[in-house]
Amino acid sequence: MANQTPAVVMDNGTGFSKLGFAGNDSPSFVFPTAIATKGAAGTGALAPVDQLGCGVRGPGYGLHYPIRHGQIENWDHMERFWSNSIFKYLRVEPEEHFFLLTEPPLNPPENRENTAEIFFESFNCAGLYIAVQAVLALAASWTSSKVHDRSLTGTVIDSGDGVTHVIPVAEGYVIGSSIKSIPIAGRDITYFVQSLLRDRGEPDSSLRTAQEIKEEYCYVCPDIVKEFSRYDRDRSRFIKHVVSQPGGRQVSVDVGYERFMAPEIFFNPEIYSSDFLTPLPVVVDGNIVLSGGSTLYKDFGRRLQRDIKHLVDARIRASEVRSGGAKSGGLEVQVITHKRQRHGPWFGGSLLGQTPEFRSYCHTKAEPSGELQLRVTLTVFIAARNPWSFVRDRQMHPAAEIQASGQQIIIQAH
Ligand SMILES: Nc1ncnc2c1ncn2[C@@H]1O[C@H](COP(=O)(O)OP(=O)(O)OP(=O)(O)O)[C@@H](O)[C@H]1O
Ligand SMILES: [Mg+2]
């Protein structure tokens, strides 16, 4: 039966879960990775969470986010969240489906083990595969006309709600030693917008309103000083955003400088944080360059490409000087944005999950005999996890580090 049904693809992020079936163009459900529970210990009845995760329908409920910074932190809540996803949203019988789940880079093996245990022992799923989000995001970028060879080599910037990762991938293998993380992502940008709204005393400065404003109006500008003066010259750049409050009341919120100030945090983090001060283009690293961007902000990729190019050119010039005038051929920087950016890992999973080989590489509960063996086998299988091993069944490519310094930059944004 499970061989005839489509694989279920689930990308559970810090902020949003993307759920659907392999072979589809987009997830069937996208909703906050949050559960609302009644009672202090968070073990009582579940309640629905609204689309933005900002409100819970029902008095006395507490809201919980089981994933923090990309990693599952509360397994009990996560299991309940998965159960809801499978039985109430997707409405599937897990024993009749193979499942493709995603994980962040450098996910500890115990997390994979716990996930497998829940899916096999609580849900009795027919088969399970856990793929790294960045590798799936690379596959999703194949839909871009700028991508000519469908390779799994490139660097992904995956910037979601809770974490931004810069992840070099060579032939489907994540180069773990070179992954960099930035503690700034979508939720921080929302908080920043909210703080500006509060400072101005806007009539509504809720998180929901801040998130709406961020998603609808924010963009990346080429030069923040010039942009300020453009706003001062041209009042039409200020926008009135109408918010419908509970009870039907409508209020108008002014939207101004935050339109370009908020995403500028990626390029000048000091405007938001005094702890983390490194701009994203520097983290990507000019010499190995390679990475694409987080977001759907207008012109994010363009600005990243420009800033990385400046860094790379400066380094090349410095190395030419050091080598006594030898001329370098230069290094092309290409930042790829594409239509599937928004749900890149999910879409890559959808592509992967519909291939004929997919099921043969899934782990199934029937394979091992005995509980201990199940645990050992799961650990070995999932820990070894060559992400696309069914495509390229071999060990780490010996030239992986070199290939990772290729010239492709993939933007994975959300
Ligand atoms: N058009 C947009 N412009 C800017 N930001 C957006 C836009 N659409 C969504 N976002 C932001 O993207 C974030 C959600 O992205 P995504 O679903 O990829 O994150 P996630 O997978 O839940 O988190 P993570 O990958 O960090 O664990 C939210 O902060 C949301 O506000
Ligand atoms: Mg994500």
Domain match, 172 and 194 both: no
The verdict on 113 and 75 lying in the same domain is yes
CA distances from 222 to 145, 299, 412 (A): 25, 9, 20
pLDDT single digits (tens) 264-300: 999 999 988 888 888 777 766 433 333 323 447 889 8
pLDDT-derived band at 130, boundaries 50, 70, 90: very high
**Does 286 fall in a domain?**
yes
pLDDT in tens, 134-169: 888 888 887 776 666 676 777 888 898 988 888 888
114 and 253 share one domain: no
Of 271, 288, 307, which one is at a domain's C-terminal end? 271
Of 66, 69, 49, which is closest to residue 57 (Cα–Cα)?
49
Write out the two tokens for 204.
């509504």
CATH of the domain at 240: 3.90.640.10
Dist CA 349 CA 54 (whole Å):
28
Distance CA 35, CA 345 (A): 22
Number of folded domains that form the chain: 3
Determine, yes or no, domain membership for 205: yes
Q: What are phi and psi for residue 73, nearest 5 degrees?
A: -115, -30
Cβ of 186 less than 6 Å from ligand 1: yes
**330 occurs within a structural domain:** yes
Give residue 109's domain range. Answer: 8-133+344-413
Q: Is residue 14 part of a domain?
A: yes
- Residue 3 resides in a domain: no
- What is the C-alpha R_g of the chain? 23
The proportion of the chain whose per-residue pLDDT surpasses 90, expressed as a percent, equals 41
Is residue 66, in this structure, part of any structural domain at all? yes
Q: Which residue has the higher pLDDT, 39 or 321?
A: 321
Distance CA(279)–CA(319), nearest Å, equals 22
Say whether both 234 and 367 belong to one domain: no
Residues 218 and 257 in one domain: yes
Residue nearest to atom 20 of ligand 1 (CA): 13
Higher pLDDT, 57 or 126: 126
pTM of the model: 0.81
Q: In terms of domains, do 332 and 348 share one?
A: no
Q: Does 2 map to a domain? A: no
Q: Is residue 193 within 8 Å of 215, Cβ to Cβ?
A: no
Same domain, 290 and 243: no
In short, whether 341's Cβ falls inside 6 Å of ligand 1 is: no
**pLDDT tens, position by position, 215-248:** 999 999 999 999 999 999 998 889 999 999 888 8
Q: Are both 51 and 124 inside the same structural domain?
A: yes
CATH number of residue 173's parent domain: 3.30.420.40
Those residues whose C-beta lies under 8 Å from the C-beta of residue 184, and which sit 6 or more positions away, are 164, 265, 266, 269, 272, 273, 276
Same domain as 304, residue 179:
yes
Atom of ligand 1 nearest to the CA of 413: 18
Q: What is the pLDDT of residue 361?
A: 82
Q: Examine the fold and report which residue of 291, 310, 336 is the final residue of a domain before the chain moves on.
A: 336
Within-domain flag for 1: no
- Say how many Å lie between the CA of residue 123 and the centre of ligand 2: 23
Whether 394 and 321 map to the same domain: the answer is no
For residue 164, the ligand closest to its alpha carbon is 1
Q: Are residues 355 and 328 in contact, defined by beta-carbon separation less than 8 angstroms? A: no
Using most ligand atoms within 8 A of CB, pick from 10, 17, 69, 161 the residue to mutate for ligand 1.
161
| Ligand 1 contacts CB of residue 331 (under 6 A) | no
Residues 89, 144, single domain; the answer is no
Quick check: CB of 340 below 6 Å from ligand 1?
no
Question: Are both 195 and 264 inside the same structural domain?
Answer: yes
Say which amino acid occupies 407: Q
